[in-house]
Amino acid sequence: MALNTVSSDRLSTNVKNTNFTAAEKQDLTDDILPLAGQLGNRNILHNGSFIVHQRGGTTTSPGFLLDRWYSAMNGGTATFSQGTETSGTVYEKGLVNYCRITNTANSTASGAYRYLRQSIEAQNLLKSGWNYKSASAKITLSFYVRSSVAQNFYGYLRLSDSPDSRYPFETGSLTADTWTKVTKVIPGYASGNIDNDNGSGMEVLIAPFWGTGGTDSGVTLNTWAAFNGAQRFPDYATTWAGTNGATFDVTGVQLEVGSVATDFEHRSFGQELALCQRYFIRLGYGNQYAYVAAGIMANNTTPRCGPFVLPTTMRAAPTATRVGDLTVDSETAAGTLVTAISSAETTVHGGRLDFTCNSHSAGAGQSVHIYSDTATSGLDFSSEL
């Protein structure tokens, strides 16, 4: 027996040798441990419960908001946010947070869309144990979804490496304002390919709407085919997209090897954060006067900070970005405003940053530190997919 698998025969024998009723024995067999696949690290996706939110706030622009999930919209306006449950179906399963898409100004135009997407690092997928070229080898996608409008919605899995391929699926018609669990068992694809690298190997995308510029009535669901940007899904109903204020919520997103959708794998916040920090790290955010860098003055307008070590090895050498207002300060001179990052030398482990600041009275060679002026300022390091 492999170390990370369960013997269903052994578990069944142990349960059988008790005085439980047949129904109770089945419940125990189902609930104690998953009977297929790994016991731990089953979920290939990160932050599927949307608990990690390093960037904070909401967004009305395309980009990353909740860690590891890229959100995008076109046509009209939409807001992406982190929601919180305090009771009910998903809350009772430990799923307290979710991602919400709010259709703040509707559009059903052909070029309109709203979606949520995570890209999986190719080497992680390749080494997951899924024999992706075999139709008999399965992976299972499961998630909870809730819409304020009763409608059928679509999503897809997309193998990103050449040849670019996609597997579209539907949620089925949802009951308004009701959490529904969606499960899709997906076969391998003989024509597919997954590279052994740190690029994107697969996208998991869920979309409450896509206009006819990206859909086609002839698209076949639940089968692999070559990706075509004009034929992502069958045509959408326009009920949700045409409703101002309509909401679409997702949580408990899990992708695992095998044909069984096990209960959502809860990882601690610290574990989930560490996984997310391979792709994005924010220093200082959430705390006013948080120190984010230290170094010396190269001259009176150039603080040079480093070497610094990041808390985890990142996917690739990150791009560094200043967020909000930062101040450079020293023991011998008053602080002055940092206006830009003038140069960055980064690796997956850390690096050095040069900043530009207003003229500082500390002379060249004087030690300085840089801190966040507000609770919404800091330093970002991003190597997102």
Task: Read off the pLDDT band of 23 (50, 70, 90).
Answer: low
What percent of the chain has pLDDT above 70?
A: 90
pLDDT of 219 > 90? The answer is yes
Task: Read off the pLDDT band of 363 (50, 70, 90).
Answer: confident
Cα 72 to chain center, whole Å? 13
Task: Read off the pLDDT band of 285 (50, 70, 90).
Answer: confident
Residue 187 pLDDT? 98
Reading the block at residue 160, the tokens are 């990103």
Residue 40 pLDDT? 79
pLDDT of 339 > 50? The answer is yes
- Map residue 332 onto helix, strand or coil: coil
Task: Read off the pLDDT band of 243 (50, 70, 90).
Answer: very high
pLDDT of 299 > 60? The answer is yes
pLDDT of 71 > 80? The answer is yes
Task: Read off the pLDDT band of 227 (50, 70, 90).
Answer: very high
Residue 356 pLDDT? 96
Please name the amino acid found at residue 80.
F
State the chain's mean pLDDT as an integer: 92
What angle separates helix 8-16 from helix 22-32, to the nearest 10 degrees?
A: 140
Residue 287 pLDDT? 87
- In Å, what is the CA distance from 98 to each residue of 91, 101, 148, 177, 373? 10, 10, 14, 14, 30
- In Å, what is the CA distance from 372 to each residue of 21, 309, 338, 343? 61, 19, 10, 19
- In Å, what is the CA distance from 149 to each residue of 45, 175, 183, 259, 302? 27, 8, 20, 30, 54
Residue 35 pLDDT? 53
How close are the terminal C-alpha atoms of the chain, in Å?
A: 36
Q: How many angstroms separate the CA atoms of 236 and 251, rounded?
A: 22
pTM of the model: 0.90
Longest dimension (CA), the chain: 81
Q: Determine the average pLDDT of the residues in 156-172.
A: 97
pLDDT of 33 > 60? The answer is no
Give 343's strand partners: 354
Q: How many angstroms separate the CA atoms of 112 and 73, rounded?
A: 7
Q: Which residues contact 324 (CB under 8 A, 6 or more apart)?
A: 372, 373, 374, 376, 377, 378
Between 34-48, 303-317, 343-357, the lowest mean confidence (pLDDT) is in 34-48
